[in-house]
Chains A and B, each alone.
Chain A
Amino acid sequence: MSSRRSRSRQSGASRITDDQIIDLVSKLQQLIPELRGRRPDKVSASKVLQETCNYIRSLHREVDGLSDRLSQLLASTDTDSDQAAIIRSLLM
């Protein structure tokens, strides 16, 4: 293990360190609802990546579903800029 690390330090200035990866993975872990509460050392990096993929896919599906819903809603309403202004003020 230590030999691997020293080997990577020798081969060039821009080596990705293990610590960098660990930091980034734990940062990702905090963004995923499934894994957020759990301690970073209890969750393996590969599990984090797996759950990240699942989460991104579910977000894509949500965007799809919402686009679908919006297309149906737009069909039935007559939106004009007044409505959009109201919505904008409500959202902001």
Chain B
Amino acid sequence: MDSQHLNPSSLKSRFTARFLRALIKINAQKPISSSSPREIFQRYRRIKVAADKSMAYSVRSRRTWSRATLWKLRSRSRRRLASSGRRSSIKTRTTTTTTTTTTSTNHRAAIVEKTSHEKENKEDHVGLAVQAEELRELVPGGESMDLCNLLDETAHYIKCLTTQVQVMKKIANLYSLE
């Protein structure tokens, strides 16, 4: 167990505090029959949204990807409030869209690899632009970024995702010790 003393204003601390508060709130909403599969699934969804939301809030609007995430979350909750019935389930972009794009972009990527190899591995912007399409779908707000910003935002996004995973893992391990 690493005994690092965390800076209270660090991203990790801010995320941890927010996420824990959200978990307490989610747990407080537990009904009597808290172990039905449906309940567990709903809780899973709430926890996942809380995790992404906590991270985006901890980054605030300093980054394009966090702004995009926050905007998406807010417009989603506004839609939900507006409509009386339950909308269709949250389509996670990762699981649904990437399965369909993977096959086509892998094919494209193979072609790009071949042509770039012919140019002795020197990438030009056209080749990277094709490759970046896949990345744009994975990084929130990626569609509207130029290549430079996309690469920069991606680096920050990955750092935040790894922090998120790290903290969630620690919390899960601590809970499973109870």
Which residues does chain B contribute within 8 Å of A83, judged by CB atoms?
A: 178
What is the interface of chain B mostly: helix, strand, loop, or mixed?
helix
Please tell me the number of chain B residues within 8 Å of chain A, measured between CB atoms. 70
The count of chain A contact residues (Cβ–Cβ below 8 Å) is 50
Given contacts A74-B27, A79-B23, contact A57 B94 (CB under 8 A): yes
- Which of the listed residues A45, A46, A68 has the most CB atoms from chain B within 10 Å of its own CB? A46
* SS class, residues of chain A in contact with chain B: helix
- Chain B residues lying within 8 Å of A68, measured Cβ to Cβ, are 44
Q: Which residues of B contact A6 (CB under 8 A)?
A: none
Contacts of B132 in A (CB 8 A): 49
Q: Determine how close the nearest CB of chain A comes to the CB of B92; give it in whole angstroms.
A: 7
Residues in B neighbouring A61, C-beta threshold 8 A: 94
Q: For the complex, what is the distance from the CA of A73 to the CA of B19, rounded to whole Å? A: 15
Q: Identify the A interface with B (CB < 8 A).
A: 1, 4, 16, 20-21, 24-25, 27-28, 31-32, 44-47, 49-50, 52-53, 55-57, 59-64, 66-77, 79-81, 83-84, 87-88, 90-92
Other CB < 8 Å A-B pairs besides A21-B125, A45-B128, A73-B175, 13 of them?
Answer: A16-B125, A16-B147, A21-B148, A28-B158, A44-B113, A46-B116, A47-B113, A56-B157, A59-B161, A67-B47, A76-B35, A77-B178, A84-B23
